[in-house]
Amino acid sequence: MSKELFKTVLYLPSQAAAETEATIVKWHVKPGNSFSKGQNLAEIESAKSTFDFEAPCEGTVINLLFPEGDSAPIESPVIEIETSDESLKNEIPSAGSKKSDFPQMKLKEVNEEKIEPSGIISILGIGSYLPKQVIHNRELLKEHPDITEEYIFGVTGIKERRWAQENEKPSDMAYAASVEAIEKSGLSPNNIDAIIVSTSTPDVVMPSTACILQKKLGIRGTPAFDINAACSGWLYGISMAKGMILSGTAHNVLVSAVDMQSRVLDKKDRNTYFLFGDGAGATIVSSEKKGHKIIREILTADSKGLHMARRDFPGYEVPENSSETDPWMRLDGRALFRFATESFSTMIRNLVIKSGWEVEDVRWVVPHQANARILKAAAQRSGVAFDRFYLNLDRVGNTSSASIPLAISDIEKGLQKKDKIIFCTVGAGITAAGLSLEW
Which residues share a beta bridge with 64?
Answer: 79
Question: 33 an active-site residue?
Answer: no
Question: 167 an active-site residue?
Answer: no
Question: 211 an active-site residue?
Answer: no
**CA nearest 27: which of 76, 79, 94?**
79
CB–CB of 61/33 below 8 Å? Answer: yes
Choice among 231, 251, 292, 424 that is catalytic? 231
Choice among 252, 292, 368, 424 that is catalytic? 368
Q: What is the DSSP letter of 205?
A: S
Choice among 228, 371, 398, 424 that is catalytic? 398
Q: How many residues in total does the chain contain?
A: 439
Sign of the Cα pseudo-torsion (231, 236, 238, 244, in order): negative
Task: Kindly state the helix (H) or strand (E) to which residue 347 belongs, with its residue range.
Answer: helix 333-354
d(CA 178, CA 277): 19
C-alpha dihedral (390, 395, 398, 404), degrees to nearest 10: -40
Task: Kindly state the helix (H) or strand (E) to which residue 149 belongs, with its residue range.
Answer: helix 149-156
Phi/psi-derived region of residue 429, left when phi > 0, alpha when psi is between -120 and 50, beta in every other case: left
Which residues share a beta bridge with 432?
Answer: 300, 426
Give me the helices (H) in 355-397, please.
372-382, 393-396
Phi, psi for residue 291 in degrees, rounded to 5 = -145, -135
- What positions carry a catalytic annotation? 231, 368, 398
